[in-house]
Structure 1
Amino acid sequence: MDTNLQKDDFTGTIKFVPPLHKQRYQFIKDLVIKYKPKKVADLGCADCTLLRMLKFYKCIEVLAGLDIRENRLFNFERFRRHTLSPLPGDYLQPSERSLTVTLYHGSIAHEDPCMLGFDLVTCIELIEHLEATELEKFPKVVFGFMAPAMVVISTPNSEFNPLLPGVTLFRHSDHNYVLYIALAVEAATRYDYTVEFTGLGTPPPGTEDVGFCTQIGVFRRKYPKNGETVSSEKPTEHAYKTVFKAVYPSLKDEKYLQNAVVSEVIFGAEIMKQRLLGNFKSEDMEHSDGLQMQLKFQPFKYFLMCSKNHSPVEAEKLATDRSMEPFIDGNTVYIPLTKIFSIPKVNQLCGTIEKLSKLIDGKVALSNDGSAVIVTIEYEDEEQEN
Structure 2
Amino acid sequence: MFSYELPDGGLRARCYINSEGDIKFDPPVYEQRYTTAVRILEDSRWGHKFKKVVDFGCADMRLLSLLRRVEGIEQILEVDIDEDILRSNKLRAEPLVSDYLKKREGPLRVELLKGSIDASVEQLLNVDAVIALEIIEHLYPKTLENVPKNIFGFMQPKIAIFSTPNSEFNVLFEPLLENGFRHDDHKFEWTRTEFKDWALNICQKYHNYSVAFIGVGDAPPDKKDIGYVTQIAIFARNDLLDRSLTEPFSSEVPVDCDPDADVQYKEIFAVDFPYNRDERSKEQKILDEARYQIDRCRRIDRYFNRDLGVYQVPLTVLKDFIETLGASMQELLAILKENDIEVKGDYIILPEYDEDDLSYRHYDDCYDDEYGLWNDVGCNDDETENDDELGACGGYSHTKDDATYDSEENWD
Tell me which interval the TM-score lies in, with the shorter structure as reference length.
0.5 to 0.7
Tell me by how many angstroms 1:204 deviates. 2.7
- 1:239 Cα deviation after fit: 2.6
The amino acid that maps onto 1:7 is I
Amino acid at match of 2:83: E
8 Å contact kept, 1:96–1:250: yes
Alignment of 1:82-161 (within 5 A): 83-91=92-100, 93-161=102-170
Normalised to the residue count of structure 2, the TM-score between the two structures is: 0.57
Seen in structure 2, the aligned counterparts of structure 1 residues 21 and 167 have a Cα distance that, compared at 3 Å, is: farther
Partner of 1:73: 86
- Preserved CA contact (<8 Å) 2:162 2:234: yes
Counterpart of 1:53 (choices 47, 66, 71) is: 66
Aligned-residue offset at 1:172: 5.3
8 A contact 1:158–1:172 mirrored in 2 = no
Pairwise CA distance, 1:115 = 1.0
Distance 1:54 1:142 in 2: 20
Deviation digits for residues 229-259 of structure 1, max 9, x if unmatched?
Answer: 442567863431111111123334639xxxx
In the TM superposition, what is the alpha-carbon distance from 1:219 to its structure 2 partner?
0.6
| Structure 2 counterpart of 1:211 | 227
1:101-149 per-position Cα deviation (integer Å, ceiling 9, x unaligned):
1111011121112112222101000011112221111111111111111
Question: Does the 8 Å CA contact 1:201/1:212 hold for their aligned counterparts?
Answer: yes
- State the 1:21 CA deviation: 0.4
Deviations 1:162-215 (A, max 9, x none): 112257622655422221111111012211211111111222344333221101
Q: Which of residues 272, 278, 284 in structure 2 aligns to 1:247? A: 272
Q: Contact between 1:2 and 1:202, CA under 8 Å: does it hold in 2? A: no
Q: Secondary structure at the match of 1:207?
A: helix
Q: Measure the CA separation in 2 of the matches of 1:212 and 1:226.
A: 33
Return the match for 1:196 from 204, 212, 230: 212
List alignment gaps of at least 5 residues for structure 1: 256-298, 322-386
> Contact 1:13/1:166 (CA < 8 Å) preserved in 2?
no
Partner residue in 1 for 2:20: 11
Query: In the aligned structure 2, how far is the partner of 1:178 from the partner of 1:172?
Result: 18
Distance, in Å, in 2 between the alignment partners of 1:206 and 1:86 is: 45
Q: Distance in 2 between matches of 1:6 and 1:89?
A: 37
CA offset at residue 156 of structure 1? 0.7
Select between 116-125 and 168-177 the one with higher mean Cα deviation: 168-177
Contact kept, 8 Å, 1:120 with 1:149, in 2: the verdict is yes
* 1:64 pairs with 2:74: no
Query: What amino acid sits opposite 2:200 in the alignment?
Result: V
Q: TM-score, normalised by structure 1?
A: 0.60
Answer yes or no: is the 8 Å Cα contact 1:114–1:238 preserved in 2: no
Aligned-partner residue type, residue 31 of structure 1: I
Q: Give the 3-state SS of the residue equivalent to 2:32 in structure 1.
A: helix
Match of 1:180 among 165, 172, 195: 195
CA distance, structure 2, for counterparts of residue 251 and residue 237 of structure 1? 36
Q: Structure 1, residues 74-119: CA drift from partner, whole Å, max 9, x if none?
A: 2123xx2xx3223455445542211111111011121112112222
State the distance in 1 between where 2:131 and 2:218 align.
22
Gap change, CA 1:113 and 1:3, over 3 Å in 2: closer
Q: After the TM superposition, which residues 206-285 of structure 1 pair with which residues of structure 2 at under 5 Å, given as runs?
A: 206-223=222-239, 225=245, 229-231=249-251, 237-252=262-277, 254=279
Look up the equivalent residue of 2:275 and give its one-letter code: S
Instruction: Report the RMSD for the aligned CA atoms in angstroms.
Output: 3.1
Deviation at 1:226, TM superposition (A): 8.4
| Residue 35 of structure 2 corresponds to residue 26 of structure 1 | yes
1:96–1:174 CA distance, 2 compared to 1 (3 A): closer
CA distance in 2, matches of 1:226, 1:209: 37
Identity %, equivalent residues: 34
User: May I ask how many residue pairs the two structures share in their alignment?
Assistant: 261
* SS of match in other structure, 2:50: coil
Q: Partners of 1:138 and 1:108 in 2: how far apart?
A: 6
